[in-house]
């Protein structure tokens, strides 16, 4: 039992891996919050997509009119999808990067910039900020993931 425990916690004892775990948990929680924001806008804007979701508004046409798209709902959904497209590569490549033996300070720099960029991206999308606000925050996060992928391929390449 003891030996197993020791094994299971050795990765989490590594500082770079702890930093990876921290920032991965933060960006994934941030991504999950998009679901709550979508739900908030769906309810306040009364804009649903599934008939069973409008059943509490009555039957027939009185409920049907709430089966519609709303600009704010669609905006949050686009932000959520953009998170999936960018946070999935960060989580996958970031894990390999954390295991490729980078300096703690370099790793922290990557994780912090990515996390900051994605939080900014969400605000830029939802407020919305004028471009190139959203574009730049997207590009910064994207570049960080590419930089980590380069380190992974340089360290691990086995084709």
List residues binding a second copy (CB under 8 A): 4-5, 7-19, 21-22, 24-26, 28-29, 31-32, 34-35, 49-50, 52-53, 55-56, 75, 78, 80-81, 84-89, 91-93, 95-96, 98-101, 128-131, 134, 142, 145-146, 149, 152-153, 155-159
Q: What tokens does 136 get? A: 């730049």
68: three-class secondary structure by DSSP? coil
Whether a cis peptide bond, with omega within 30° of 0, leads into 12 is: no
In whole angstroms, the minimum distance from the beta carbon of 139 to a second copy comes to 10
Closest among 33, 44, 47 to 79, alpha carbons compared: 33
In whole angstroms, the minimum distance from the beta carbon of 74 to a second copy comes to 8
Whether a cis peptide bond, with omega within 30° of 0, leads into 101 is: no
Nearer to a second copy, 24 or 137 (CB): 24
In whole angstroms, the minimum distance from the beta carbon of 3 to a second copy comes to 10
**Ramachandran region, residue 101 (left: φ > 0; alpha: ψ -120 to 50; beta: rest):** left
In whole angstroms, the minimum distance from the beta carbon of 84 to a second copy comes to 6
């Amino acid at each position: 039992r003891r030996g197993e425990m020791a094994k299971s916690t050795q990765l989490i004892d590594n500082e770079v891996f702890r930093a990876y775990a921290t920032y991965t948990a933060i960006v994934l929680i941030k991504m999950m919050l998009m679901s709550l924001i979508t739900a908030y806008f769906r309810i306040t804007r009364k804009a649903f997509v599934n008939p069973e979701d409008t059943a509490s508004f009555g039957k027939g046409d009185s409920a049907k009119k709430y089966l519609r798209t709303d600009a704010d709902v669609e905006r949050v959904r686009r932000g959520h999808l953009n998170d999936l497209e960018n946070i999935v590569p960060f989580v996958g490549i970031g894990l390999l990067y954390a295991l490729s033996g980078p300096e703690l300070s370099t790793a922290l720099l990557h994780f912090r910039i990515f996390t900051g960029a994605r939080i900014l991206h969400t605000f830029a999308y939802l407020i919305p900020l004028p471009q190139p606000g959203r574009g730049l925050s997207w590009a910064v996060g994207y570049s960080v993931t590419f930089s980590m992928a380069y380190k992974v391929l340089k360290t691990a390449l086995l084709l």
